[in-house]
Amino acid sequence: MTENKPGAGRGGRGGRGGRNGRGGRGGRGGRGGRGGRGKGRGGNQPQNEEKKNDKQDPVEQSTLHANAPAFTPGAVSAPPTSNDQGNSPKNNSKNTSNQNKNKNQKGGKGQQNNKGNGGNKQKKDAPGKDSNGKDSEKVNDKSQSSQKGKNQKRANNDNDGKKGKNGKGKNQGPNKGHNNAKEKNKGNNSTKGEKSVAAPEKPSIPPNQPQQTNDINFARGENITVFHVAEKPSIAQAIAKGLAHGEVTFKKKILPVHEFTNPPFPKAPHAKKVTHKVSSVAGHVFSVDFPQQFQSWESVDPAELFTAPITRKPCKGSVVKHLQDEARGAHFIVLWMDCDREGENINFEVLDCCMHLMKGGSGIANYDRVYRAHFSAINPSDIVKAYNNLGKPDKNQALSVDARQELDLKVGVAFSRFQTRFFQGRYGDLDSSVLSYGPCQTPTLGFCVQRHVDIETFKPEPYWTLELGVLKRGRMLRATWESGRSFNKHKTEELVMKAMEDSPTVVVTSVVTKDKKQGRPVPLNTVNILKACSKALGIGPHAAMQAAERLYLSGYLSYPRTESTAYPKSFDIKGTLQQQAGDSRWGNYVRELLAQGHNKSRGGVDMGDHPPITPCRSAGPHELSGDMSRVYEFVVRHFIASVSEDAVWRSTKIGFEIEALGAKGKFFVSGKQNVSLGFLAVLLHKQYGDEADNEGEDEEERTIPDFTKGEVIPLMKSNSGSNTSKVQVATGAPVWASLDVKEKMTTPPGYLTESELIGLMEKHGIGTDASIPTHIQNIQNRNYVRLESGRRLLPNKLGMVLVQGYHQIDSGLVLPKIRSDIEGQCNRISKGEMTKEEVVAKAIEMFQNKFDFFVKNIARMDVLFGSSFSKLEDVGKPFTRCGFSRRYLQYIPGPPPRLYNKYTETVYPMPAGGDIKQWSGRTCPVEGCNFELCLYSVGNPPRTFPLCPNCFNSADWSLAESPEDPDDKEDQNKEQQIKRMAGKALTLECPLPDDHPLIDELFVSPDPDSDGVFIMDPHFGPKWRLVSTRDATVIYLPKSIDKITILNETDEVLGCHKMKIEFKDGQSPLDGGETKHSAFFPTDPILQGASRVYHGSERTKAAGRGGRGRGRGRGRGRGGGRRR
């Protein structure tokens, strides 16, 4: 295909720069020819500097954690919780006496012990942070000064050797670690032309710090700025709409900012003018992870993770910078996060970023001007009410989230890394890229597997029961035997024989008719809506929670994460009903209810976090669609039903007795009829199942004929010659009875439904109302369970083997008790009854011992894997030859995909995210390699690239930036292989670097829109295409081309290879019908004019309007791209 002319090869291109504009390593030398082109990836892209700064941030980012409590070695990520106790000023003042004093002293000690942890990692593990990464306690001056000398020494030790580099001597004052980190960042950033800005001293925030000052004369006669921060942009917009009474200025920045000059601020009522700036974050500001030196799966022993430090990294550096820019110079900060523990945690993340930049005062004085709004809906009335009743953020609740995060990260990652590495290297058909363990996820899986074990080990047994049939007025009633059932057939048959002696009769012993009330449903909390959506609407917990959250953000529902099942006294039930009075579906019922007067809700508990889930505004029948419409309708109907009349049923129960059998001869028939529908008229009981907590649900709705107490009914005898227990009766009798023996079999329980699983998780304290849907979704995503009809969860083979393996080694790893205990301790943290440090230390010690025992006894679990899954050598099919042994490698599609040499027991991870095919026995041209090549196709439309299994796993041809140290290079290569084996990385571009000989052979020209190159699609003709190695761009060459040969001749200016083209006879665009043509693609007018450029997608399969891919246009997967 390629002409090999001596000395015509092109030289290696310049190295690829770093992702943030750094210059990369130099390109490898080519085979002669043109020199390196460009400045490397990113090296000549100054326009990206601003974007890079958004990710890395100016110097403020280095000060994010200064003076906050230092991270204790080992801190992590937990599921969100919403068991809030409220944040009213009254609650905030509860823990402010001796308890706060003691906590502050402990906080000082923790700061001393952890100062300077991490050495040079000041940017990630800045000193002065607590285990949450939030500001440490610094209330009394004596405590601060007592630590000053110790902190100075620790900070100087940690920053030894940096003073010469940064030109700084010892730092003075209590912010030594902060200043050192800042000077380090300043020195680093100065090379990029960035200016360092000295940040003010950051204040300290102890748990539940009360208001220190309450000066209503603050800023009297002056202009002030109030910075409001919401959790999501949509809530920020609702806050601005609720508070502003005039014009609102909208500024589109990193996140939207709404600015207006009214109303007055209740905490500074005498200010001359109040400027309000309302913006938001986008969820969590920081994520929790291990430092870089603990990220390696290869070089880090998972046992080390239990004692490893943790760092908090900005989820988006641009958000941090945005908060700092907007908060700088603000007099007050008002936090509008969701009113649950996770929201409190985000509150303190925001304060870590920007509280020290407020205007006026420093230290704790800034915290005096920080307030927290408590709200449950985003309607204007709720916004104004929260604004006029501002409280303080609750750090104890934030600490409980930090504790759970630390435990989940350390425990989950340690177990997951170990068992993934152990089993992925031994078995080929596990059908999961990561064998994850989670303190909540695994007990959730355990419930599903235990039910499967109960079903599989169930032994059906026969049993016998007596069935009394009573015929009256042409209707046969089947009476139930009060004794239930008997497992002795002989005794049951003897009872029938005894009943038939002499003149058998049945006597009516009782006739009881009474009205029973079926109680209206209790108000709706998160767990109940998840169960109802799964059972009645067929919507899974994860999808139901997403729909409820979208409805909340759109203003249709109140906050959907609540544990309360009782409306607070302040809740406006009448006003909420009036909003629904005009709806065509239930408006008539609501108007009648308002005219008669609504009822109080039944039972329930007000947990003080949020009110139950209720509608906030009306929505027409066609205003919403899909799951949102169905969830909204259910919530509205449930709310109306919860304040409606109870349903009334008339229940009738008839008692029968065969006197000859004594206590064994009692039977009954029961039924009920509706007298008043009550709430059932709006709740649509039959549609929504039994989620209304129905009383008497076991009674059948039917009419019972009239019976009289003492009435005697003849029991007919059976034929003497019959060998059956059935009684033969005389025909024509108006009222008679028969007695039968029925043989039945015991039946196993059914598989768990989502609704039942949610109930078990709630009962055993696994997860929270906010995290339960996530845990259920995770065990499905990991292929541990599958969802079958009826919303039932059936465990897959992998899930069963894992759970049984845990039981073989340590049942505590899968049983819910340990996690339930930890949840209870986290609740105590939120109430101020325990410290985060003691809870985490105790739990980490316990799990570390369990991990050590697990590792020592992993062979017990391996026995189960060996009997359920296939060894690598027994899986896959011969694919391509190994370049070393010349034996065929077996292709294991995974996940994760890999090639396996069963003769040398070598595993070659393959790129994930695309399709892998053989390529006609071609071999790799790299010296000493000789592996047979594959083709790797990715994207839509697919872009195909050559792939060498050996080079893909070689450090010499890694796509990542290569370290200079050979040992580091080897470690990096092993780490990449581990991540590929774990399915961590998707390869959505060419799997080989652009300077690899394979790519060089197909190279046509640079790609001006990316840092890649255009190569000839290795499928070649008849559909000739050029594909970009680093971008989802495809160039379709003219269909009249018959053959293309890439020459080694290059254009030294453009860095292109010349192409030798032959056109089809009669289709040539050349003058005189010539068929042969040579040209450089970027400069040839013929090729440029007849080629089509298509910008596709990195996704392998089309989505959205592409449908099933059978139609034209968009249906063929082209809807996601664009042509030019």
- In this prediction, residues 295-319 reach a mean pLDDT of 89
Q: Where are the alpha helices (DSSP H) in 713-796?
A: 754-764, 772-781
Sign of CA dihedral 110, 111, 117, 122: positive
What pLDDT shows up at residue 686? 55
What pLDDT shows up at residue 20? 35
Sequential DSSP letters for 26-62: PPPP-SSSS---SS-TTTT-GGGHHHHHHHH-SGGGG
Q: What is the distance of C-alpha 661 from the center of its chain? A: 62
Q: pTM for the complete prediction?
A: 0.66
Mean pLDDT of the residues in the chain: 77
Q: Identify any residues that bridge with 225 across adjacent strands, giving them in sequence order.
A: 275
Q: What is the pLDDT of residues 896-951, one digit of tens each?
A: 788 888 778 788 888 888 899 988 888 999 998 999 999 999 988 889 999 999 99
Q: What is the pLDDT of residues 561-620, one digit of tens each?
A: 888 899 988 788 999 999 999 999 999 999 999 999 999 888 788 876 688 999 999 999
- In this prediction, residues 105-126 reach a mean pLDDT of 36
In this predicted structure, the answer to whether residue 1060 has a pLDDT above a threshold of 80 is yes
- The catalytic residues are 559
Cis-peptide, bond into residue 263, ω within 30° of zero: yes
Which of 200, 202, 163, 201 lies closest to 183, judged by CA?
Answer: 163
What pLDDT shows up at residue 847? 95
Whole-number percent of the chain with pLDDT over 90: 45
What pLDDT shows up at residue 513? 94
Consecutive H or E run containing 539: none
In this predicted structure, the answer to whether residue 198 has a pLDDT above a threshold of 90 is no
**Beta-carbon contacts of residue 1053 (< 8 Å; ≥ 6 apart):** none
Q: What is the pLDDT of residues 723-757, one digit of tens each?
A: 444 444 444 557 889 998 999 999 999 999 999 99
What pLDDT shows up at residue 968? 52
Q: Are 815 and 443 in contact (CB under 8 A)?
A: yes
Residue 1028's CB: how many other CB atoms inside 10 A?
A: 24
Q: What one-letter code names the amino acid at 274?
A: V
**Beta-carbon contacts of residue 958 (< 8 Å; ≥ 6 apart):** 972, 973, 976, 993
Angle, in degrees to the nearest 10, between helices 836-856 and 817-830: 160
Distance in angstroms (rounded) separating the CA atoms of residues 189 and 762: 50
Q: What is the pLDDT of residues 56-89, one digit of tens each?
A: 333 333 333 333 333 233 333 333 333 333 333 3
Distance in angstroms (rounded) separating the CA atoms of residues 153 and 156: 5
Report the phi/psi class of residue 741: left, alpha or beta, with left for phi > 0 and alpha for psi in -120 to 50: beta
In this predicted structure, the answer to whether residue 1109 has a pLDDT above a threshold of 50 is no
Distance in angstroms (rounded) separating the CA atoms of residues 982 and 799: 17
